[in-house]
Structure 1
Amino acid sequence: MKAYFAGGCFWCVTPIYKMYGVDKVVCGYSGGDEQNPSYEDVKAQKTGHRETIMLEYDPEKVSYDKLLDIFLANVDPFDADGQFIDKGFSYTLAVYYTTEEEKLKAYTKISKLEADSGRKVQIALEKFKSFYEAEEYHQDYYLKNPEAFEKELIESGRKKG
C-alpha cells in the first residue's frame, strides 16, 4: 500500500519511517497542478506543490494509523508557515488521502489533537491527485550525505546539537 504525507523538508522525515518498518520512502512533490515540477520551482513556491514523501508499506507490518501517529509526532502541527526553519507553502503540512477510510482516520486524529491542545492544527487534509518523484540526489539523502544531513537536522531545530 501507499501513503502520502507532506511533513516539511522531505530529507528530514524520510529516515523516521524506515525505522518503523516502512518498505520504501520516496521523496517527491504533491498537491500542485503543474506536471513534473522541479525542486527549484517547488522550493521557490512557484508550483503549488508541497515536499511530500510517498510511503510503500505492508499493513501487516505497520498500520496506516501508526503511520499517522509517526507523522504527527515528528512535525509541528500548529505551524501554518512551514516546518522549523523551512518556511513557505511547499513546507506546509498535508495528509493526502487515497481512500475515504484514510481521510476519516486522519480527520479523527487531527480533531483529537485539536481538542486535546485547544489549538488549531495546520495540516491540510486533501484528496491525493498526483505524486512526482524528486530528483535522484534527494532520495535517501541521509544515507548519501550523513554529515550534511546531521547538520540540517540541528540547524533546522529538529534535533538538539
Structure 2
Amino acid sequence: MVEKKLEKATFAGGCFWCMVKPFDSLPGIESVISGYTGGHKENPTYEEVCTGTTGHTEAVQIIFDPAVFPYKDLVEVYWQQTDPTDAMGQFVDRGSSYRPVIFYHSEEQRKIAEASKKALQDSGKFNKPIVTSIEPAQPFYPAEDYHQDFYKKSGAHYHGYRSHSGRDQYIESHWK
C-alpha cells in the first residue's frame, strides 16, 4: 500500500465560514479547518481576533493530497473566492482580521503562489492591483468548535450571511 503524502495549505479570504465550503468537497481534500493565523497572540479567541489587536486573520487550513489535487489548483480555487484587489477586508467584513493572504508552507508553495498572483495581475482581469499578501505560514490556531463546518451545522445562518455579504455577487460578476 502506498502511503499518501499530505500537505497543508493556508488561505485567508475574509470570513472563514465562507472559505470552507469551496474546498471541502474537492478531491484529495482530507480536512478544512477554520482558525486564526498571522498574529502574535497564542491561542486567540474569536472575540480577541475580532478586536483587531491580536494581529491574526481568519483563515482556513487545508490538509490535502497534492497527488490528487495539486497546490496550484488550490490557489486557483482560492482566488475565485476572494476580491484580490481589497487589502483591508473582504466584502462586508472589514479590517486586518479579514485581509486576504496566501500563507505558504514551503518554498515551492511560495513560488506557485507568486507566479499565480503575477499571472492574475498580468491577465488584465482587474483594473486595480492584486494586493493579496503572500506570507510564510505561522502558527495556526483552530477556531472554536461552533465555527468548524459552519455551513453544515448552521445552514440557514450561513446562507443568510453569505447572501448578504456581497461575496456571491462579486464572484458571479468577476469569476464566472
Q: TM-score, normalised by structure 2?
A: 0.88
Code of the aligned partner of 1:12: C
Code of the aligned partner of 2:85: F
Code of the aligned partner of 2:102: V
The CA distance in 2 between the partners of 1:99 and 1:39, in whole Å, is 28
Identify which of 50, 55, 61 aligns with 1:54: 61
Code of the aligned partner of 2:45: S
The 5 A counterparts of 1:94-105 are 94-105=101-112
The 5 A counterparts of 1:80-159 are 80-117=87-124, 119-159=128-168
Cα distance, 1:20 vs. partner? Answer: 1.5
Describe the SS at the equivalent of 2:33: strand
Match of 1:14 in 2: 20
Match of 1:5 in 2: 11
Match of 2:3 in 1: none
Partner deviation per Cα, 1:37-69 (whole Å, 9 max, x = no partner): 111111121100000100011112211001000
Describe the SS at the equivalent of 1:60: coil
Structure 2, unaligned stretches of length 5 or more? 1-6, 170-176
Code of the aligned partner of 1:88: G
The CA distance in 2 between the partners of 1:81 and 1:129, in whole Å, is 20
Cα distance, 1:110 vs. partner? Answer: 0.6
- % identical equivalent positions: 36
Match of 2:174 in 1: none
Match of 2:30 in 1: 23
Partner deviation per Cα, 1:47-103 (whole Å, 9 max, x = no partner): 000001000111122110010000001100001220010000000000111111100
Matched, 1:39 2:83: no
Rg (Cα) greater in structure: 2
The CA distance in 2 between the partners of 1:93 and 1:159, in whole Å, is 16
Size of the aligned set, in residue pairs, is: 160
Match of 2:75 in 1: 68
Describe the SS at the equivalent of 1:159: helix
Q: TM-score, normalised by structure 1?
A: 0.96
The CA distance in 2 between the partners of 1:92 and 1:119, in whole Å, is 16
